[in-house]
């Protein structure tokens, strides 16, 4: 009997180590992200989750170890636009309208202006902000701003979406709506290829509702403490479902 086909890894980190001054922040991290999976990173504040995302995005180089993107060593990888990064802060440009913030990443491509605007408006509709395209960032609530940041990340149709505590500023109802939207967008993907998502959260319920696998990092120095495989947990996952609640309880107990 042959084993079921596994998606190829899109990100492979081996022995990643990162120091700031004399302090080792990440210590010898091995991590594989398979194409099309949703991966949650959890762990105590300061354990290096954001630093790890920075490395996976190509923004920060590790002091030791290697990152491969689609099999290519990161130093040789040229197509970083395939990886979108939604930062912990929304980083909206205050002098640009909402539409022009969302279209920002497309300006580096050959996309004509009218097409950029059309895509921006489509992404804004996806995150429930139709009609706000001409607003300025300062006119929006924190939750709306983070939805604009998500729309901006999605506008470039990335293969991989990295998100640092993306929904932490949303009220619970909006957060659940965004979870559904994200999973729908992820499954539709680009050119019918499931998008790969790696996200940081403090919310174990969010981790269980969204993720195929949960990577728990331990602190000082940051290292992988535990990998929880949730791939077989049926979807859609409702927080009130007993199997979901039980998994949340297990993760909270381990934290
Ligand atoms: N640029 C930096 N210079 C020095 N120390 C940093 C820098 N970035 C992060 N750190 C430190 O590295 C540790 C991990 O930070 P971070 O990755 O932001 O953790 P987390 O996202 O898990 O809360 C923290 O102790 C933080 O103070
Ligand atoms: Mg962080």
Among the bound ligands, the one closest to the CA of 217 = 1
Neighbouring residues of the ion ligand 2, judged by CB less than 5 Å? 49-50
Shortest-distance atom of ligand 1 to CA 21: 4
Per-residue pLDDT, 190: 66
Distance (Å, whole) CA 95 – CA 63: 36
pLDDT tens string 43-67: 999 999 999 999 999 999 999 999 9
Q: Which residues contact 56 (CB under 8 A, 6 or more apart)?
A: 11, 13, 33, 67, 83, 162, 198
Ligand 2: distance of its center to the CA of 46 in Å?
7
Among the bound ligands, the one closest to the CA of 54 = 1
CA-wise closest residue to 73 among 9, 7, 161, 12: 12
Per-residue pLDDT, 169: 86
Pocket test for ligand 1, best of 27, 44, 48 (most atoms within 8 A of CB): 48
Shortest-distance atom of ligand 1 to CA 51: 17
Q: Which residues line ligand 1 (CB under 6 A)?
A: 20, 25, 43, 45-51
Ligand 1: distance of its center to the CA of 51 in Å?
6
CA dihedral 243, 201, 178, 143 (to 10 degrees): 140
Intervals of the chain under pLDDT 50 = 1-4
CA-wise closest residue to 156 among 183, 116, 128, 196: 116
Architecture (CATH level 2) of domain 9-91+160-254: 3-Layer(aba) Sandwich (3.40)
Distance (Å, whole) CA 78 – CA 57: 12
Q: Which residues contact 35 (CB under 8 A, 6 or more apart)?
A: 7, 8, 9, 10, 159, 193, 194, 196
Shortest-distance atom of ligand 1 to CA 219: 22
Distance (Å, whole) CA 78 – CA 37: 22
Hey, where are the domains in the chain? 9-91+160-254
Output the residue whose Cα is nearest ligand 1's atom 20. 46
Alpha carbon of 119 to those of 50, 51, 104, 107, 113: distances in Å? 29, 31, 11, 12, 10
Per-residue pLDDT, 112: 95
Ligand 2: distance of its center to the CA of 111 in Å?
33
């Amino acid at each position: 009997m042959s084993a079921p086909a596994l998606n190829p890894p899109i990100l492979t980190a081996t022995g990643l180590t990162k120091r700031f001054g004399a302090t080792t922040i990440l210590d010898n991290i091995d991590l594989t992200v398979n194409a099309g999976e949703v991966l949650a990173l959890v762990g105590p504040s300061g354990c290096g989750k954001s630093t790890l995302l920075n490395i996976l995005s190509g923004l920060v180089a590790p002091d030791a170890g290697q990152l491969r993107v689609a099999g290519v060593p990161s130093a040789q990888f040229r197509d970083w636009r395939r990886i979108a990064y939604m930062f912990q802060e929304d980083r909206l440009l205050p002098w640009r309208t909402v539409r022009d913030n969302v279209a920002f990443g497309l300006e580096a491509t050959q996309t004509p202006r009218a097409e950029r605007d059309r895509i921006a408006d489509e992404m804004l509709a996806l995150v429930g902000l139709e009609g706000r395209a001409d607003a300025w960032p300062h006119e929006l609530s924190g939750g709306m701003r983070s939805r604009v940041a998500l729309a901006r990340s999605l506008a470039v149709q990335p293969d991989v979406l990295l998100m640092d505590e993306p929904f932490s500023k949303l009220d619970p109802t909006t957060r659940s709506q965004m979870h559904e939207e994200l999973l729908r967008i992820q499954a539709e993907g680009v050119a019918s290829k499931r998008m790969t998502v790696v996200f940081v959260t403090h919310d174990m319920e969010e981790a269980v509702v969204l993720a195929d696998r949960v990577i728990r990092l331990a602190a000082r120095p940051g290292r992988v403490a535990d990998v929880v495989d949730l791939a077989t947990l049926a979807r859609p996952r409702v927080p009130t479902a007993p199997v979901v609640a039980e998994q949340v309880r297990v993760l909270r107990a381990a934290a």
